[in-house]
Amino acid sequence: METAVARVRTLSPTGFLRLTLATSLALFLVVTSGAFVRLTGSGLGCENWPRCGDKPYPEQGYHAFVEFGNRMIALVGIVLTLVTWLASRRVDGVSRGARLAALGAFLVAAAQIPMGGVTIALDLHPLAVMAHFLLGLAVVALALVVLLEAWILVAGLARPAGPRWLRQVAVWAGLPACAALVVTGAVATASGPHPGADEGVERLGLQISDVVYVHVRVAAVFGIGALGVGWCLWRIRRDYPGLLRLWAALLAALVAQAVVGEVQYRNALPWGIVLVHVLLAATIWALAVGIAYALWRPPAPLARQ
């Protein structure tokens, strides 16, 4: 224990950056594996919590191993958020905001443990499953803030990008619109037929066509807003070429998401395509958070050197 603490105390900024990158990737994998569990109908593979039947590990069965695997991946993510928070207190130069974000990431990640138990106790009620998923995305957002701050610590900080109104719009309008996009998508998935199970699975009881109608229009609003932000970033592309590249990645993800969404809707929600849709949703959320934060505090490599 003393050796481990000593290593944390001597962690370099570059080592801290690598740690935050590993944490962010692990948390993204947690969201992915959680979606895989639900979409394959494996949510009750271990019908009690935290044990899996009579033992703390599964003895047999595909669904049990899928559910247990997600638990192990989630545990790794929680441990990494804890280590990242502890490391943030031992690396010189880490901002107070980054340390608070690291603490928040750990606390929200830890909250996933009882939330998982509640979800199982409620027999995978759609609202509980949605809350589980959205908490995962909140952890991803906090971890990305820490990652960007670690990058700034290593590479330096450029001045804020664009006019102040653009930065405010990205945070106070762009992120809520992206959150609404993700939430309405989750509601649409929870309202239609379950893509990975044949047995009767509880649904929200909303008309799928009505929910999709709302989701598509939220997507249109967010897409138009994203194009507006892209136009502003194009105007300052010489000073912030890296931000424009991040926006281009967001645009590509949005276009891919629109295509995948149309395909899955017209093919009765095959679970493999729905999983891709969830992955793209998490990617869009991560890019939106990254762009909004980097407008205020852009790492130097995103700006002209």
pLDDT of residue 160: 97
% of the chain at pLDDT higher than 70: 89
The answer to whether residue 2 scores a pLDDT higher than 50 is no
Q: pLDDT tens across 65-117, in order?
A: 888 888 889 999 999 999 999 999 999 999 999 999 999 999 999 999 888 88
Find the mean pLDDT for residues 277-303. 97
CA-nearest of 54, 90, 52 to 72 is: 52
pLDDT of residue 5: 46
- Residue that is written with structure tokens 């340390």 in the block: 99
Max distance between CA atoms of the chain, in angstroms, equals 62
Confidence of residue 9 (pLDDT cuts 50, 70, 90): low
pLDDT of residue 176: 97
pLDDT of residue 139: 97
pLDDT of residue 123: 81
Confidence of residue 61 (pLDDT cuts 50, 70, 90): confident
How open is the CA angle 253-110-14, to the nearest 5 degrees?
Answer: 65
Find the mean pLDDT for residues 228-248. 97
Q: What is the 3-state secondary structure (H, E, C) of the chain?
A: CHHHHHHHHCCCHHHHHHHHHHHHHHHHHHHHHHHHHHHCCCCCCCCCCCCECCECCCCCCHHHHHHHHHHHHHHHHHHHHHHHHHHHCCCCCCCHHHHHHHHHHHHHHHHHHHHHHHHHHCCCCHHHHHHHHHHHHHHHHHHHHHHHHHHHHHHCECCCCCCHHHHHHHHHHHHHHHHHHHHHHHHHHHHCCCCCCCCCCCCCCCCHHHHHHHHHHHHHHHHHHHHHHHHHHHHCCCCCHHHHHHHHHHHHHHHHHHHHHHHHHHCCCCHHHHHHHHHHHHHHHHHHHHHHHHHHCCEHHHCCC
| Max avg pLDDT among 45-54, 187-196, 203-212 | 203-212
Domains of the chain, residue spans: 1-155, 158-305
Q: pLDDT tens across 152-173, in order?
A: 999 999 999 999 999 999 999 9
Q: pLDDT tens across 201-232, in order?
A: 777 878 888 999 999 999 999 999 999 999 99
C-alpha pair distances (Å), 122 with each of 31, 188, 205: 20, 20, 16
